[in-house]
């Protein structure tokens, strides 16, 4: 595990130029088709063409938020990823910057995979995984570094960490942070006995890294078999607790839990950085919806711990998203602020999103008794709804367009929608709430729904594909339900 190997970096600058041109041409070629799609969103980051996946390199530097993302410009499928790049000063007005990184070099030609950003010596440092896809050589993954003086152009410095002995080629997604003048990095890794792990590294200079050890993983720390690969680890302290967010692959569905193909959640515990030990409790899912994966967090200049997730899951149903026919797929969640309440992570949409609101429409004390009703004005496609329940008898549901339904019964909240592939079937995601349902906050966009339950104790994130002109929302109650509802039209993100 070694030093920077900058001497050995083969710079294929021509290839970088060619890849940039090819991607920019693809954007132009498909622009009209992509933009004609009725499912384009108003306030969620989307790829200009092709496939978007993980948020990468989230950071605020000199006031500017930088959000990078995994991007495949040439297909609505996975492949040799680029890093796309958005910037903003307020999380509402965004600029789509030039492509940050292309898979141009020998060590990343299979994809500039996920990673993170830190500031050092007044330079933006991006750590990412260089993937070699196995077509020309055996598959390998390295942790690599790229540096920027201006925040928009990046110079690759090459490999900083090679796969340690005892681990397979699944070795990716470096997340770096600084504590007490020491740099730390967590990386997802598969051990040779095919178990998912998180490895901790440390460094004094961001160039020379030493492996501290595996700090958590399947069959460790009291866990049984818990996934064959752990992707996208993120470790941070929040309100006095050390939290390890990670995406284990290969968990079996278990009642209401682990219903998606791959999971995304966290362990709360204590990290001993010197000994490389993380003692932790059980795994808790971060989100209960159909599409949520590979989240990343950052601490911003206000000291907030913000999280953005990928509104997608890598699985066999990806091609069933209807946007594929218009040459794009997937988007990001809205940014959420995290808090630790002593037991779980609480997630709230960042307050900046209120800037998008138009005038409020409000009804207090709406009562529905054994009936299904629309509530005047409570409809639309780029909207926010806030519901506070005064009285709630056992069965209550919100029908969103003729597509999704959010229903509550026996303390269980269920989101259902037509199965993406086989529309004759309905699919469900569920959660048992810790306490009575008091509050629901819904962010609806042209093709997505994010539901924050009881001030963010649970969240459901999903794509929805109602008919493009549908705006109708219906409320159903068996027994009597009384609630107040506020509704705002949302103007959306502004791009320049």
Buried b (16+ CB within 10 A) or exposed e, 301-334: eeebbbbbbbbbbbeeebeebebeebbbbbbbbb
Rule CB under 6 A: is residue 79 a binding residue for ligand FRU? no
Could you write out the DSSP letters of every residue in 18-53?
Answer: HHHHHHHHHHHHHHHHHHH-TT--SSS---SSEEEE
Tokens 């004094």 correspond to 204
Rule CB under 6 A: is residue 333 a binding residue for ligand FRU? no
Shortest distance, position 48 Cβ to ligand FRU, whole Å: 17
Rule CB under 6 A: is residue 230 a binding residue for ligand FRU? no
Question: Which one of residues 105, 108, 231, 457 is an interface residue with ligand FRU (CB under 6 A)?
Answer: 231
Which range, of 106-114, 117-125, 270-278, 372-380, touches ligand FRU by CB under 6 A? 106-114
Rule CB under 6 A: is residue 70 a binding residue for ligand FRU? yes
- Residue whose CB is less far from ligand FRU, 232 or 404: 232
Rule CB under 6 A: is residue 445 a binding residue for ligand FRU? no
Shortest distance, position 421 Cβ to ligand FRU, whole Å: 20
Query: Measured in whole angstroms, how far is the alpha carbon of residue 71 from the centre of its chain?
Result: 14
Tokens 């609480």 correspond to 346
Rule CB under 6 A: is residue 175 a binding residue for ligand FRU? no
Euclidean distance between the first and the last CA atom of the chain, given in angstroms as a whole number:
43
Which range, of 92-100, 110-118, 325-333, 440-448, touches ligand FRU by CB under 6 A? 110-118
Rule CB under 6 A: is residue 321 a binding residue for ligand FRU? no
Rule CB under 6 A: is residue 198 a binding residue for ligand FRU? no
Query: Residue 438 in 3-state DSSP?
Result: coil
Question: Which one of residues 276, 314, 380, 418 is an interface residue with ligand FRU (CB under 6 A)?
Answer: 314
Rule CB under 6 A: is residue 164 a binding residue for ligand FRU? no
Rule CB under 6 A: is residue 296 a binding residue for ligand FRU? no
- Residue whose CB is less far from ligand FRU, 186 or 232: 232
**Percent helix, percent strand, percent coil in the chain, to nearest 5:** 10, 55, 40
Could you write out the DSSP letters of every residue in 88-157?
Answer: ESSSSEEEEPSP-B-S-STTTTTEEEEEEEEEETTEEEEEEEEEE-SSSSS-EEEEEEEEESSSS--EEE
Shortest distance, position 52 Cβ to ligand FRU, whole Å: 10
Query: Residue 487 in 3-state DSSP?
Result: strand
Residues 232-291 within binding reach of ligand FRU (CB under 6 A): 232
Query: What is the number of alpha carbons within 13 Å of residue 344 lying toward its C-beta?
Result: 17
CB 489 within 8 A of CB 87: no
Rule CB under 6 A: is residue 404 a binding residue for ligand FRU? no
- C-beta contacts of 87-90 below 8 A and 24+ residues apart: 87/151, 87/152, 88/64, 89/63, 89/64, 89/65, 90/352, 90/355
Rule CB under 6 A: is residue 461 a binding residue for ligand FRU? no
Rule CB under 6 A: is residue 112 a binding residue for ligand FRU? no
Question: Which one of residues 19, 50, 52, 54 is an interface residue with ligand FRU (CB under 6 A)?
Answer: 54
Whole-Å CA distances, 171 to 55, 143, 175, 190: 18, 8, 12, 7
- Residue whose CB is less far from ligand FRU, 114 or 195: 114
- Among 16, 37, 54, 254, the one annotated catalytic: 54
Which range, of 108-116, 252-260, 376-384, 431-439, touches ligand FRU by CB under 6 A? 108-116
Tokens (6 digits) for 339? 């808090």
- Residue whose CB is less far from ligand FRU, 70 or 379: 70
Which range, of 107-115, 263-271, 422-430, 443-451, touches ligand FRU by CB under 6 A? 107-115
- Phi/psi for 267 (5° steps) reads -115, 135
Q: Which of 175, 123, 195 is nearest to 154 (CA)?
A: 123
Sign of the Cα pseudo-torsion (74, 78, 84, 88, in order): positive
Question: Which one of residues 172, 280, 336, 441 is an interface residue with ligand FRU (CB under 6 A)?
Answer: 172
Rule CB under 6 A: is residue 326 a binding residue for ligand FRU? no
Query: Measured in whole angstroms, how far is the alpha carbon of residue 97 from the centre of its chain?
Result: 20
Rule CB under 6 A: is residue 129 a binding residue for ligand FRU? yes
Rule CB under 6 A: is residue 330 a binding residue for ligand FRU? no
Question: Which one of residues 114, 116, 347, 481 is an interface residue with ligand FRU (CB under 6 A)?
Answer: 114
Whether 54 sits among the annotated catalytic residues: the reply is: yes
Question: Which one of residues 99, 146, 294, 353 is an interface residue with ligand FRU (CB under 6 A)?
Answer: 294
Q: Which of 403, 401, 431 is nearest to 417 (CA)?
A: 403
Which DSSP state fits 284? Answer: E
Question: Which one of residues 83, 113, 171, 236 is an interface residue with ligand FRU (CB under 6 A)?
Answer: 113
- Residue whose CB is less far from ligand FRU, 55 or 489: 55
- Phi/psi for 82 (5° steps) reads -105, 170
Q: So which residues are the catalytic ones? A: 54
Q: Which residues bind ligand FRU (CB under 6 A)?
A: 53-54, 70, 81, 111, 113-114, 129, 172-173, 231-232, 293-294, 314
């Amino acid at each position: 595990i070694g030093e920077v190997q900058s001497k050995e970096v083969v710079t294929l600058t021509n290839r970088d130029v060619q890849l940039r041109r090819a991607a920019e041409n693809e954007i132009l070629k498909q622009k009209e088709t992509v933009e004609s799609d009725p499912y384009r969103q108003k306030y969620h980051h989307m790829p200009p063409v092709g496939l978007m996946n993980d948020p990468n390199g989230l950071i605020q530097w000199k006031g500017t938020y930088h959000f990078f993302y995994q991007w495949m410009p040439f297909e609505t499928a996975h492949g040799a990823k680029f890093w796309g790049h958005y910037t903003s000063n307020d999380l509402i007005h965004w600029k789509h910057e030039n492509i940050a990184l292309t898979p141009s070099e020998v060590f990343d030609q299979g994809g500039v995979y996920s990673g993170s950003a830190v500031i050092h010596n007044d330079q933006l440092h991006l750590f990412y995984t260089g993937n070699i896809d196995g077509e020309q050589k055996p598959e390998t993954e390295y942790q690599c570094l790229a540096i920027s003086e201006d925040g928009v152009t990046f110079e690759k410095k090459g490999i900083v960490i090679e796969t340690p002995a005892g681990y397979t080629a699944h070795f990716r997604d470096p997340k770096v942070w600084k504590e007490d003048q020491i740099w730390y990095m967590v990386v997802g890794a598969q051990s040779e006995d095919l178990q998912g792990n998180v490895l901790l590294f440390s460094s004094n200079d961001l160039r020379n890294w030493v492996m501290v050890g595996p700090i958590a993983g399947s069959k460790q720390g009291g866990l049984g078999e818990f996934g064959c690969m752990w992707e996208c680890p993120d470790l941070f302290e929040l309100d006095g607790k050390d939290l390890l967010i990670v995406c284990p692959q290969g968990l079996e569905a278990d009642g209401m839990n682990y219903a998606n193909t791959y999971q995304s959640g966290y362990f709360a515990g204590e990290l001993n950085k010197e000994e490389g030990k993380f003692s932790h409790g059980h795994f808790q899912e971060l989100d209960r919806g159909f599409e949520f994966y590979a989240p990343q967090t950052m601490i911003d200049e206000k000291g907030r711990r913000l999280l953005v997730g990928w509104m997608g899951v890598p699985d066999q149903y990806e091609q069933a998203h209807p946007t594929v026919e218009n040459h794009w797929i997937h988007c990001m969640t809205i940014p959420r602020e995290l808090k630790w309440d002593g037991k779980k992570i609480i997630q709230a949409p960042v307050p900046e999103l209120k800037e998008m609101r138009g005038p409020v429409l409000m009804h207090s004390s709406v009562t529905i008794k054994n009936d299904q009703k629309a509530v005047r004005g409570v409809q639309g496609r780029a909207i926010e709804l806030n519901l506070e329940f005064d009285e709630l008898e056992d069965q209550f549901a919100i029908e969103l367009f003729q597509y999704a339904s959010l229903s509550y019964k026996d303390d269980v909240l269920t989101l259902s929608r037509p199965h993406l592939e086989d529309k004759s079937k309905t699919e469900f995601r569920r959660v048992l709430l810790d306490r009575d349902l008091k509050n629901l906050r819904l962010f609806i966009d042209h093709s997505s729904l994010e539901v924050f339950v009881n001030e963010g104790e649970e969240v459901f994130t999903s794509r929805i594909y109602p008919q493009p002109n549908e705006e109708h929302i219906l409320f159903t109650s068996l027994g009597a339900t009384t609630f107040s509802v506020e509704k705002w039209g949302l103007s959306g993100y502004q791009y320049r």
